[in-house]
């Protein structure tokens, strides 16, 4: 007898290892770039290393999101349909709307994978001349299964593909218990939902502008002082002065904290019982940025 629901997960081990490797590599490269920039002093080398750091910092959240999404990804079959959970992406396909499900290699269609697909993250949409738009929510190209509905085609990759197909065939034979509506959740819709909350909107926007003000205040201060001391020794005396460009470390640290807390806050916000943690993270980002701006101002006063 079929259980109330059956949960199938995509193959995760290889993808998690690969995504974790990218995270460690990019994080290490970004760390090396910022340390090199801070030790380089003034000049074009400092600017190039800083730009490299910012590029790597932009790419890093993509792999962090893919790692977290794969960790929690699942396909859930029940008497009423198929639920797909992949990070902030969600899809609910009612049983009556599903026309057929079969392995991709049995369909006879030659399909390409979405751009930038990797093990653990075969994600995105492609255009097929016969089938139209196809969306991938899969991790392993050996387990690909095509799900055709009245309005869309999805490709998933349950690790136990044969068991998944058997379970689907059984619920098709048993039929749906109740009529349900199809649902589709997109990451952008989730972000819009967060921004509908007044306090969340205030903390996120103010955190962004405080982080931006940190960069602006630092850029305005650097031309006024070629060298500054960054700290004090055990006797309370200022450390030897260093090129003032190294002061960029403060707004960069604030930006890193803002980005990290932003992503982690989105993760906790999905469940109402954890939303208070999201607000604590976003408040912390504002506080850190404010304190680092204040530190920049105080350093500026000590050099006057």
- pLDDT category of residue 20 using cuts at 50, 70 and 90: very high
72/16 Cα distance (integer angstroms): 11
pLDDT at 106: 87
247's CB contacts (< 8 A; 6+ apart) are 218, 221, 222, 228, 230, 296, 299
The full length of the chain comes to: 304
**DSSP character for 241?**
P
pLDDT of residue 145: 94
Q: Residue 122 in contact with residue 113, Cβ under 8 Å?
A: yes
What's this model's pTM, rounded to 2 decimal places? Answer: 0.73
pLDDT in tens, 29-70: 988 887 787 676 556 677 788 788 888 888 888 898 899 889
Cα dihedral 250→252→254→258 (10° resolution): 180
Do the Cβ atoms of 210 and 293 come closer than 8 Å? yes
Cα 91 to the chain's mean position, in Å? 18
With cut-offs at 50, 70 and 90, classify the pLDDT of residue 286. Answer: very high
pLDDT in tens, 248-268: 777 878 888 888 888 888 878
Q: Tell me which of 117 and 271 has the higher pLDDT.
A: 117
The C-alpha atoms of residue 158 and residue 103 are separated, in whole angstroms, by 10
Report whether pLDDT(300) > 70.
Answer: no
Average pLDDT, the chain: 83
pLDDT, tens only, 216-253: 777 777 767 667 766 666 666 666 766 666 777 778 78
What CA–CA distance (Å, rounded) separates 283 from 262?
10
Q: How many Å apart are CA 206 and CA 258, to the nearest integer?
A: 11
Q: In degrees rounded to 5, what are phi and psi of residue 42?
A: -75, 160
User: What's the angle, vertex CA 159, arms to CA 91 and CA 4, rounded to 5?
Assistant: 60
pLDDT of residue 2: 47
The residue extents of the domains of the chain are 1-185, 186-304
Report the distance separating Cα 87 and Cα 283, nearest Å.
Answer: 24
What pLDDT is attached to residue 43? 60
Instruction: Tell me the pLDDT tens digit for each residue of 141-196.
Output: 888 999 999 888 999 999 989 999 999 988 888 876 676 777 778 777 778 788 88
């Amino acid at each position: 007898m079929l259980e109330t629901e059956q949960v199938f997960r995509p193959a995760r081990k290889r993808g998690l290892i690969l995504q974790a490797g990218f995270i460690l590599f990019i994080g290490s490269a970004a760390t090396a770039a910022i340390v090199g920039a801070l030790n380089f002093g003034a000049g074009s080398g400092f600017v190039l290393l800083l730009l490299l750091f910012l590029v790597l910092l932009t790419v890093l959240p993509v792999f962090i999101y893919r790692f977290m999404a794969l960790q929690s990804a699942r396909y859930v079959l029940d008497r009423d349909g198929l639920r797909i959970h992949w990070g902030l992406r969600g899809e609910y396909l009612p049983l009556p709307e599903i026309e057929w499900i079969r392995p991709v290699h049995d369909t006879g269609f030659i399909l390409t994978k979405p751009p930038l697909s990797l093990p653990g993250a075969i994600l995105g949409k492609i255009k097929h001349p016969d089938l139209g738009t196809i969306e991938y929510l899969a991790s392993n190209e050996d387990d690909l299964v095509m799900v055709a509905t009245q309005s869309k085609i999805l490709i998933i990759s349950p690790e136990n593909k044969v068991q998944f197909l058997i379970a689907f065939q059984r619920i098709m034979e048993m039929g749906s218990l109740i009529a349900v509506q199809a649902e589709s959740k997109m990451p952008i819709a989730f972000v819009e939902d967060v921004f509908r909350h007044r306090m969340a909107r205030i903390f996120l926007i103010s955190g962004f502008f405080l982080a931006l003000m940190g960069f602006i205040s630092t850029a305005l201060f650097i031309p006024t002082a070629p060298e500054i001391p960054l700290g004090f020794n055990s006797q309370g005396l200022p450390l030897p002065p260093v090129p003032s460009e190294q002061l960029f470390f403060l707004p960069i640290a604030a930006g890193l904290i803002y980005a990290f807390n932003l992503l982690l806050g989105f993760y906790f916000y999905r469940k109402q019982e954890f939303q208070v943690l999201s607000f604590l993270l976003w408040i912390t980002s504002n506080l850190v940025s404010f304190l680092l701006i204040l530190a920049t101002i105080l350093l500026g006063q000590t050099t006057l």
